[in-house]
Amino acid sequence: MAPEASFNTGGLVGGAFKEAATAKVTVQNLRRNISILSGAGGNIVVLTGPDGKLLVDAGIITARPHISEALASINGDPIKQLINTHWHFDHTGGNEWVHEAGASILAHENTRKHLSQPTRVEGNWQHTFPSAPAARCPSSTVQQALVAMLLQPLPPSTQLTLADAHQLRCLPPLDLPRRGSQQHFV
């Protein structure tokens, strides 16, 4: 969806697009070569290394100028890899420009499925997300078995980022029609 069309959707989604367009994106260094960008929708984790940057999520498309500025403040290295935690617009909206900058995109197969077809979200959202252009869809996918393997116990000093689990006032939006649940929240 083009940013200008996004503003016309109204409701929660339109408000999020408008807010992200002017929100300040801040960089917080977590440790050594791991930082987090926050302030314009879903957080973005940045891992820097000798080959360039790896991002976890790409934010909302209307925040692109602020996200680009924040990434440049970390270093001038290119973005080489993007991992989408899930298909929501505040995590995948920047996929297209990140891909066009040379990054490959990795996500669960259901993320590609939801991005490649119109997806209706009910509840407070009442919004149908149109199918995304090919450049915004993950170029590689992983299956549930691999995700389960990646979620094995971690050493005590390991940092873990959970998408949409950062809201302190309430639980993140749950995708109930697709079996979203608060069963395992701590």
pLDDT beneath 50: ranges in the chain = 1-7, 165-171, 184-186
How many CB atoms are located within 10 Å of the residue 75 CB?
Answer: 13
Predicted pLDDT of residue 52 = 96
pTM over 0.85: no
Predicted pLDDT of residue 101 = 94
Give the distance, in angstroms, between the CA of residue 35 and the centroid of all CA atoms in the same chain: 15
Residue 127 pairs in a beta bridge with 121
Alpha helices of the chain — where are they, by DSSP H?
3-6, 11-22, 64-74, 89-92, 95-100, 109-115, 144-150
Cβ contact 138:84 at 8 Å: yes
Predicted pLDDT of residue 141 = 86
Q: How many domains does the chain have?
A: 1
Give me the CATH number covering residue 135.
3.60.15.10
Predicted pLDDT of residue 1 = 38
Predicted pLDDT of residue 42 = 85
185 part of a folded domain: no
Model pLDDT for residues 159-182, shown as the tens digit of each residue: 555 555 444 444 455 555 655 555
154 part of a folded domain: no
Cβ contact 126:11 at 8 Å: yes
151 part of a folded domain: no
Residue 99 belongs to domain spanning = 3-143+160-178
**From residue 10, how far is each of 15, 49, 59, 119 by CA, in Å?**
6, 40, 19, 17
